[in-house]
Amino acid sequence: MRKQSINSIIITTLMILLSACGGEESSYSSTSTKLVQATSSISSTTNPIIINAGAVNGIKVMCNSTELVTDIDGSIKCDKMPISVYLGEFKLGDVNSIPIDGFIYTQDLLHLTRADIAHPEVTKLSMILQSLDKDADPLNGITLDSNVLDILGSHLNNSTILVNLTFDNIESIIQDVIQTALSQDSTSKLKAVSYDTAQSNLAESVANAPTLTYDQRTEGGI
């Protein structure tokens, strides 16, 4: 009787273990499927978001030959390459494919890696974009006012070469745009963003981007 009882316990225990393993395998399979689906969704996106310290709303984008303006969340609907981004007639840069995470950072537009936060041209563009944010809080999103972009157009245009502009030039341009905007609208909240703050804000934004695996970053070129 004791032997039969022991055998029954062993058999029951084995059944429980097998059942647990089967459940774990099922759970793992389900999780893997979700990960594959998520990755597929990211890599096939046709609604990229233009982003610096925050998503950029109101910026001009050329989707191949079609002119668009980003929505409030910084997104555009575009499945034709290249994608080029402009402040008025001044071209910030372009991408020939949408990064795997669906975000187009300033670094991407300049064909740099996401880690190139301190690159001089990245910092110059970051200072400009963040300083033109309507509510002076670029980390919650950068909203560009069309009137402010018109003012900026007197300084930056299609013949401007970014690398030729010094940081003193950039600061001078920003100050002039802010003062002119304030003279036209006393409620303007535009605030100049410094070299260090622009880099810090961009670094925080990049750090908060969706986590990707090494293979995903390699595939996406970021």
Q: Is residue 40 part of a domain?
A: no
In the prediction, which pLDDT does 220 show?
65
In the prediction, which pLDDT does 214 show?
66
183 alpha-carbon distance from chain centroid: 33
| Cβ contact 177:188 at 8 Å | no
Return the structure tokens found at 218: 């390699």
82 alpha-carbon distance from chain centroid: 17
Q: Is residue 140 part of a domain?
A: yes
Return per-residue pLDDT of the chain as tens, 222 residues.
Answer: 444 444 444 444 444 334 444 444 443 333 233 323 333 334 335 899 999 999 999 999 999 999 999 999 999 999 899 999 999 999 999 999 999 899 999 999 999 999 999 999 999 999 999 999 999 999 999 999 999 999 999 999 999 999 999 999 999 999 999 999 999 999 999 999 999 999 999 999 999 887 767 676 666 667
| DSSP secondary structure letters along 106-161 | HHHHTT--TT-TT-HHHHHHHHHHHHT-TTS-GGG-EE--HHHHHHHTTT--TT--
3-class state of residue 93 by DSSP: strand
Q: What's the CA gap between 183 and 166, in Å, rounded?
A: 26
Q: Is residue 208 part of a domain?
A: yes
In the prediction, which pLDDT does 222 show?
73
Q: Is residue 53 part of a domain?
A: yes
Q: Which helix (H) or strand (E) holds 13?
A: helix 2-43
In the prediction, which pLDDT does 46 show?
81
Q: Is residue 18 part of a domain?
A: no
pTM of the full predicted structure? 0.78
In the prediction, which pLDDT does 35 show?
29
In the prediction, which pLDDT does 45 show?
59
Q: Is residue 172 part of a domain?
A: yes
In the prediction, which pLDDT does 78 show?
95
Q: Is residue 113 part of a domain?
A: yes
The domain in which residue 216 lies consists of 49-220
Q: Is residue 193 part of a domain?
A: yes
The domain tally of the chain equals: 1
In the prediction, which pLDDT does 186 show?
97
